[in-house]
Structure 1
Amino acid sequence: MESIKLHNSLKPGAAVPFTPIEPGKIKWYACGPTVYDQSHLGHARNYVSTDIIRRILQHYFGFKVNFVMNITDIDDKIIIKARRQRLLDLEKKKGHSQEQVAELANAAFHAYAKSNLPLLIDPEGPQLDIQNYIPRRDAAYGKVLAGGTLSGEGKPGDDEAKLKMHISNMTQAVIAISKNSVFGMADEILLPYLDSLYKETIDTSDQTMFTDLTQYMEREFTDDMDRLNVMRPDVVTRVTEYVPQIVSFVERLVQKGFAYDAEGSVYFDIAAFEKAGNPYARLRPDSRNDKVLQEDGEGSLSKNLGGKKSPGDFALWKSSKAGEPYWPSPWGNGRPGWHIECSVMASDVLGSQMDIHSGGIDLAFPHHDNELAQSEAYYCQGGHEHHWVNSFLHMGHLSISGSKMSKSLKNFQTIKDALASTYTARNMRIVFLMGRWNDGVEISPDMRAAADSWESTVNNFFINTKSLIYEASGSASAIDGQVKDLTLSDKPAEGLSTDLEQAKKDTEAALTNSFDTPQVMRIILELVRKANIHIGEHKSDLDLKSVEAIARWVTKIVGILGLDANARPPYDGLGWVSAEAAANLEPSVAVAPYKAVYEAVTKDVKALDLPGAEAVSQLLSQSPDSEFDTLAKSGNRDPEQLALPYLRGVSKLRDELRRIAPTASAETKKSILALSDRIRDFDLTNLGVYLDDRPDNQPSLIKFIPTAELVAAREEKVAQAAEKARAKEEARLARERADAEKWEKAKVKPEEMYKSGEAADKYSEWDAEGMPTKMKDGSEIPKSQTKKLKKDWDRQKKAYGEWLTKFGGGAA
């Protein structure tokens, strides 16, 4: 096996060799979520991609991975959200009159605009209100709302996304105020305003306002990860459980001269760190003086903390102001800085060095660079550099309309909503697998279509392969043994076997090349394509053993990549594992629904009373129970395999009924076909089984397909039939209306056609046949018009004759 190479942010450029500190083992720390809101697709991108790499290292390369992840359960975002929600709850209980609520909303409205949308404020004109908001909004920010930039140049990014968020909040507030429905509809503008008024009045000695929020959101995050088939960490750490250790860690940094206290806070001294011979900002040296990133790393509540020696120095311990939670420390009541938490928790579990540290690319600076600095300062001896992390892995972020998806921009779709509407967990993971883990990705319609196609192709291959095996061998496998390992064979191979061996080699090369999953996905698709071509071209000499070997190898790889939530290592099955199989049901329980269908079908076939149908009688005399008992006693727990005896019994009966139907009496034929359709479209569909009818009296193929898919297809078929019937009925009614109009017009005598209706107002004289001779004003009829009138008269005469013939009456 080739050595693994990976993209290490500490060594930018080409992938570099990966060598664990201890052979066969990997110590890995991953930055987890800050739990203050629902997780979104950007989080899914990070944690699913991390999970994919972890699975490859564990289940493909065989490493023992100790995976540690933190939960940030106290920071500025959490403090602000919890405190503001508490203030809003208190405000609602004050019993305001409608006038007072309106006054509060208008004040919040103006304050929000001044803070976030300053172009709406006209110092020399009328004050902003809900009446003039829309025209001012469109005049000031119309370019942004139309998809452009505020400057009119370049492409929109985070700044424009933030403006759109603020505009949306203001627009929602206008609607709320106009409807006298402020609380609930205008919370986004009320929350910051109430916080500005009353934040210092909150008693933060009671920390339940924070823990209630974080504990709930942590549960929500864990549920989301479970739904996405992300393996749970081996160890989860939480900041609030580590405050004493954080204080001790900071104390040591102060003692070593790498940190200093000022006004109740403690800062890391970058200059002292570098003077001792240690480099700072190793991950993002170009960002070390980026004030925006520095301020973002310190947090929005820490902008006014004083006493820094240098603007780049970052807080290890923050003095808590009124309205903020606090813990005791040698420097006074305060709370941990953002960066220090990971250094302390990771070191506590993994020690002074780790193999891998991971997180989203947006954490590289300042968060991870600051982690590195403070940790290496903590562990260094004699001022010399200490290597705390061997490999930093940064997951590319997910963007939407050119802007990073984030909670703060509110331009996200939650994982919960995505799984309820547009994605399955497998489909989402396929999308991420089709991009490199360290590249940014913007999900496009083409990418979604490619992912859907990939899943459908692999899914159909699994279904068809199992059906062919069941038909050919009557068992679960056509080969001796199963594909239990990923070892490359030294034996010469031909045909599909050659293709499989090459796919194994190419996959290993891709995975050792910094976990190149897009290449693996292409390898799988190409191998399945070759197998499908073989199946299509070799009806009579199918190499079923090679087809099955390919299907089992693909099953193993997709299992390793986490695409089957019900599968478990070592992924030795064939195809996706059903929920029933994963539950390992007792055989009689697993097979009960299939046995019930078999018994109902045999009863209905007997009721048909088909004298002389010896083949049917013979099938009815054969019970599947003995075959099922043999499978169950052998220890088989696969519900599909256990169900096969009963499904084959049903399928054979139905095939024989369809064979004799053409020669049966009209009434019997009708009954046979109705029963046949019911078995296929209802009895078996409701069990997730599809009978694929084939021509030339070939037996039907038994295919296991998710019930939801089959039911959806059945309902679509019914809907299409209903639409066809509706269109047919509408066409019939239209024909009837046209026919009625035709005969209504035809029953008029030609002699009367120009003397009635609108025509009577055009003319003043007529000849004996009713042809007009003079216009209304007494002038002669123009010759050109006379010719047309005669033509229409002759046509009416013919139509009138047809009416007389059809209805046998006289003129109306």
Structure 2
Amino acid sequence: MSLELYSTLSRRKQVFEPINAGEVKMYVCGVTVYDYTHIGHGRTFISFDIIRRWLEASGFKVTFVRNITDVDDKIIRRAAERHVTCDALTDEFARAMQEDMLTLGCLAPTVEPRATHFIPQMLNIIDKLEKKGLAYQTKSGDVAYAVRQFKDYGKLSGKSIDDLISGERVAADESKRDPLDFVLWKSAKPGEPQWDSPWGKGRPGWHIECSAMSCHYLGETFDIHGGGPDLIFPHHENEIAQSEGANGKRFANYWMHTGPLRVMNKEGKEEKMSKSLGNFWTVRDAIAETDDKFGKGNGAQVLRFFLMRTHYRSPILFGPDLIVDAYQSLKRLYTALKDVPADNEPLDWNEECAKRFAEAMNDDFNVPVAVAQLFELANRAQAQKSAAMSRQLKKLGAILNILQGDPEAFLKGSTEGLDEAAIEEAIAARAAAKKAKDYAKADEIRKHLAQMGVMLTDTPQGTTWQRVLVEKAH
């Protein structure tokens, strides 16, 4: 079955045909590093991590570029507030972002360029645009893109220029010829980072950086360009205008965007995530909260599983209580791997569930349907005591980068107030009480462990235990 993916540009699924056979060149917009990454970034980056992993599992050599925006109004303001340089601020949060993505199980990009390292390439594009009549210097000294001179403007967002002008995102600026024209180069202001240019000292606008970096690493036309839903307009629309305007070539063949993420507030209502609403979740905070619920070290696995279970193009609702189902589901899969350890044979793509897994992933990376095959394998592994089914479960899970931890460690997690030695000691005390026919004491020990989040299972080989959720009093 051929791989089909949905392109925002064509508004339909298309058979994926790379420019070069066996190779995929993909660019995903990264973050502006002035603060910690939030769970919306996590959702987008996990989605494209899985897309990349499936392409590689399908035999493609993938060049995956994800940029870092390290010059921006927000960065300048935050650096001033903290009395540090922009470089010091962006270094700190770039490292934090990389750590967060690795913790969430995302592969590092093939290359992760910083905007400030590509000023000459940006100036070259602006120069081309000016010579073609697509850019001009404003009275304020900025260089702006002349949107009405690019006949295809709006083709990604599907809006006409008149629709876009009436939109709330377009701010009035008397120095520009048209309110929709966007800034390519900002003239220097005192105390801000600045570079020399043919139009005077200044710094790049936001949109131009991605055109420069993607073309540098992937060529003037490449396969896939991706990002979050908020980037469709204006960022990606402007990238197309300036890249295709400068180079006279199609910029990217396929445009992929994730669905929006919203959060559930304390009243159980769905709303946009915002610091002003007090519902803002960084990746670090979400992992810490999830660790607290499901055991130290399990939080990142559970959060990744939660964020990937919804189809990448669909909206997703986040809330600490909503993650419980993801934990219980992951627990089911790990229980199967614990009960029936996998054999060491290679993944069998001819096996029924593996075939359906591949079909789902080839259908616009349909992870929810692919994950359903994992539960089928878990059921078969336990019902048939089949090490082959466990192997299929574990190796298909590896493609999504889940189920690769020790099952016993995941199921035990960490238990408040008791370490593993204390739990084993309590189990031994219970066994001794049962042997002495002191069943009341044995039941008391079991009940105490249950209250601490430890469930016991008696088997012919002895007593085993695992962590369970315990509702905490508020």
Partner of 1:45: 43
Structure number having the greater strand percentage: 2
Which one of the candidate residues 63, 74, 78 is aligned to 2:75? Answer: 78
Question: For 1:388 and 1:342, how far apart are their aligned partners in 2?
Answer: 11
Preserved CA contact (<8 Å) 1:42 1:406: no
**Quick one: structure 1 residues 232 and 393, their matched pair in 2 at CA, closer, same or farther if it must change by over 3 Å?**
same
Partner of 2:2: 3
Which one of the candidate residues 54, 57, 68 is aligned to 2:65? Answer: 68
* Residues 429-508 of structure 1 aligned to structure 2 (within 5 Å): 429-443=304-318, 447-466=322-341, 477=343, 482-488=344-350, 501-508=351-358
SS in structure 2 opposite 1:523?
helix
Question: For 2:186 and 2:28, how far apart are their aligned partners in 1?
Answer: 24
**Quick one: structure 1 residues 375 and 65, their matched pair in 2 at CA, closer, same or farther if it must change by over 3 Å?**
same
**Residue identity matched to 1:73:** D
Unaligned runs of 5+ in 2: 264-268, 292-298, 411-424
Preserved CA contact (<8 Å) 1:316 1:337: yes
Q: RMSD of the TM alignment (CA)?
A: 3.4
Partner of 1:519: 369
* Residues 352-751 of structure 1 aligned to structure 2 (within 5 Å): 352-380=220-248, 386-400=249-263, 401-406=269-274, 411-422=279-290, 424-443=299-318, 447-466=322-341, 477=343, 482-488=344-350, 501-532=351-382, 534=383, 543-544=384-385, 547-564=386-403, 576=407, 693-694=458-459, 698-700=460-462, 709=467
Deviation (angstroms), 1:314: 0.9
1:604-628 superposed Cα distances (whole Å, 9 cap, x missing partner): xxxxxxxxxxxxxxxxxxxxxxxxx
Which one of the candidate residues 3, 17, 31 is aligned to 2:15? Answer: 17
Asked whether 1:333 is paired with 2:331, we answer: no
Deviation (angstroms), 1:406: 4.6
Preserved CA contact (<8 Å) 1:46 1:397: no
Preserved CA contact (<8 Å) 2:49 2:107: yes
Question: For 2:276 and 2:457, how far apart are their aligned partners in 1?
Answer: 51
Question: For 1:690 and 1:453, how far apart are their aligned partners in 2?
Answer: 14
Preserved CA contact (<8 Å) 2:135 2:145: yes
Question: For 1:577 and 1:32, how far apart are their aligned partners in 2?
Answer: 36
Deviation (angstroms), 1:578: 6.9
SS in structure 2 opposite 1:526?
helix
Deviation (angstroms), 1:528: 2.2
Question: For 1:375 and 1:409, how far apart are their aligned partners in 2?
Answer: 37
RCO comparison, higher one (Cα < 8 Å, 6+): 2
1:610-649 superposed Cα distances (whole Å, 9 cap, x missing partner): xxxxxxxxxxxxxxxxxxxxxxxxxxxxxxxxxxxxxxxx
Which one of the candidate residues 145, 150, 153 is aligned to 1:273? Answer: 150
Question: For 1:418 and 1:316, how far apart are their aligned partners in 2?
Answer: 36
**Residue identity matched to 1:455:** L
Preserved CA contact (<8 Å) 2:37 2:97: yes
Question: For 1:257 and 1:508, how far apart are their aligned partners in 2?
Answer: 48
Partner of 2:156: 283
**Quick one: structure 1 residues 77 and 392, their matched pair in 2 at CA, closer, same or farther if it must change by over 3 Å?**
same
Question: For 1:356 and 1:290, how far apart are their aligned partners in 2?
Answer: 30
**Residue identity matched to 1:209:** T
1:353-388 superposed Cα distances (whole Å, 9 cap, x missing partner): 1111111000000100100111011111xxxxx211
Preserved CA contact (<8 Å) 1:45 1:397: no
**Residue identity matched to 2:335:** N
TM-score (norm. length: structure 2): 0.82
**Residue identity matched to 2:378:** V
**Residue identity matched to 1:451:** A
Question: For 1:238 and 1:314, how far apart are their aligned partners in 2?
Answer: 22
Which one of the candidate residues 257, 265, 280 is aligned to 2:133? Answer: 257
Partner of 2:422: none
Preserved CA contact (<8 Å) 1:433 1:521: no
Question: For 2:154 and 2:131, how far apart are their aligned partners in 1?
Answer: 23
Question: For 1:503 and 1:210, how far apart are their aligned partners in 2?
Answer: 51
Question: For 2:403 and 2:74, how far apart are their aligned partners in 1?
Answer: 35
**Residue identity matched to 2:144:** Y
Preserved CA contact (<8 Å) 1:397 1:404: no
**Quick one: structure 1 residues 82 and 512, their matched pair in 2 at CA, closer, same or farther if it must change by over 3 Å?**
same
Partner of 2:54: 56
**Residue identity matched to 1:395:** T
Partner of 2:295: none
Question: Identity, % of aligned pairs?
Answer: 36
Question: For 1:410 and 1:702, how far apart are their aligned partners in 2?
Answer: 42
* Number of aligned residue pairs: 432
Structure number having the greater helix percentage: 1
Unaligned runs of 5+ in 1: 87-207, 296-302, 381-385, 467-475, 489-500, 535-542, 567-574, 580-600, 602-653, 682-688, 717-812
Question: For 2:313 and 2:206, how far apart are their aligned partners in 1?
Answer: 24
* Residues 74-153 of structure 1 aligned to structure 2 (within 5 Å): 74-86=71-83
Question: For 1:555 and 1:268, how far apart are their aligned partners in 2?
Answer: 51
Preserved CA contact (<8 Å) 2:311 2:366: yes
Deviation (angstroms), 1:485: 2.7
